[in-house]
């Protein structure tokens, strides 16, 4: 399973990637949307974990752009604005997907990733 983590908080995203690696999950991380697009062009990923609020290109917009490049990629959103309403908005705009609220529980994240890949 190859995962791409995108969040503007470098400390967060890098640590998360390291923790996933410790659990034998191959995780790359970037801090901007532009870098994420480049990564996708270079490598194939199974799941992208996107922060909804990021400078310039937000998670939802980024998802649309990535979909053009890799139709098979699955998405999980994470957000700092913890509320169900954000999920609703995001869900309406992007179609079915998974959402997590920061601070993220890593076991939950892994569970969701496995779930999403099983539903393929």
Partner 1 sequence: MVMLEKLKPKFWDYQDVAAGPYKHLFNFRRIWELAVMLVSLVALIPLVSITLIDYGVTQHSVESEVLLRTARLVSNTWRTVSFFLAQRISALDFVVRDNSYASLRDPERLSGILENLKQGFGGFVDLGVIDSTGRQITYAGPYKLEGIDYHDQGWFKEVADKGVNVSDVFMGFRRTPHIVIAVRHQLPNGSFYILRATIDTDRFNELLADLEVSGQGDSFLINKEGILQTPSRDYGKVLDKIPLPVPDFSPKTRVYEEEYPGDKHLVIGYAYIHDTPFILMIVKQKDELMKPWQKTRIQLIGFLVASMIIIVVVVLSVATYLVNRILIADQKRIMTLHEVEYSNKMASIGRLAAGVAHEINNPLAIINEKIGLIKDIFTIKDEFKGNRKLMDLIDSALSSVDRCGAITKRLLNFARHLDVKIQTVNLEEVISDVLGFLSKEAEYRSIVVSVNVPGDIPRFESDRGKLQQIFLNIVNNAFAAVKDGGKLDISAKREGTNLISVTFTDDGCGIPASDLERVFEPFFSTKTQQGGTGLGLSITYGLIQELGGNIGVQSEVGKGSSFIVTIPLKMGKKEK
CB within 8 Å of 85: residues ≥ 6 apart: none
**Candidates 25-33, 37-45, 55-63, 76-84; binding stretch for partner 1 (CB under 8 A):** 76-84
**Candidates 25-33, 56-64, 66-74, 99-107; binding stretch for partner 1 (CB under 8 A):** 99-107
For residue 40, the SS3 value is helix
Q: Among residues 102, 58, 61, 55, which one has the least CA distance to residue 78?
A: 102
Shortest distance (Å) from residue 76 CB to partner 1: 15
Q: 101: which strand partners? A: 79
Both tokens assigned to 111: 């569970």
Shortest distance (Å) from residue 87 CB to partner 1: 12
CA distance 15 to 21: 10
Tell me if 27 contacts partner 1 by CB under 8 A: no
CA distance 114 to 117: 5
Tell me if 111 contacts partner 1 by CB under 8 A: no
Tell me if 23 contacts partner 1 by CB under 8 A: yes
Q: Which of 3, 4, 6, 12 binds partner 1 (CB under 8 A)?
A: 12
**Contacting positions for partner 1 (CB under 8 A):** 9, 11-12, 15-16, 18-19, 22-23, 80-83, 85, 101-104, 106
């Amino acid at each position: 399973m190859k995962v791409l983590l995108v969040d503007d908080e470098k400390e967060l995203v890098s640590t998360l990637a390291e923790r996933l690696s410790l659990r034998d999950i191959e995780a790359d991380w970037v801090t901007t949307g532009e870098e994420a697009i480049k990564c996708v062009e270079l490598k194939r990923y199974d799941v992208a974990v996107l922060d909804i609020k990021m400078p310039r290109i937000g998670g939802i917009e980024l998802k649309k752009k990535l979909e053009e490049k890799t139709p098979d990629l699955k998405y999980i959103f994470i957000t700092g604005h913890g509320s169900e309403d954000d999920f609703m908005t995001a869900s309406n705009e992007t179609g079915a997907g998974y959402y997590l609220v920061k601070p993220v529980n890593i076991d939950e994240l892994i569970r969701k990733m496995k779930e999403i890949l099983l539903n393929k």
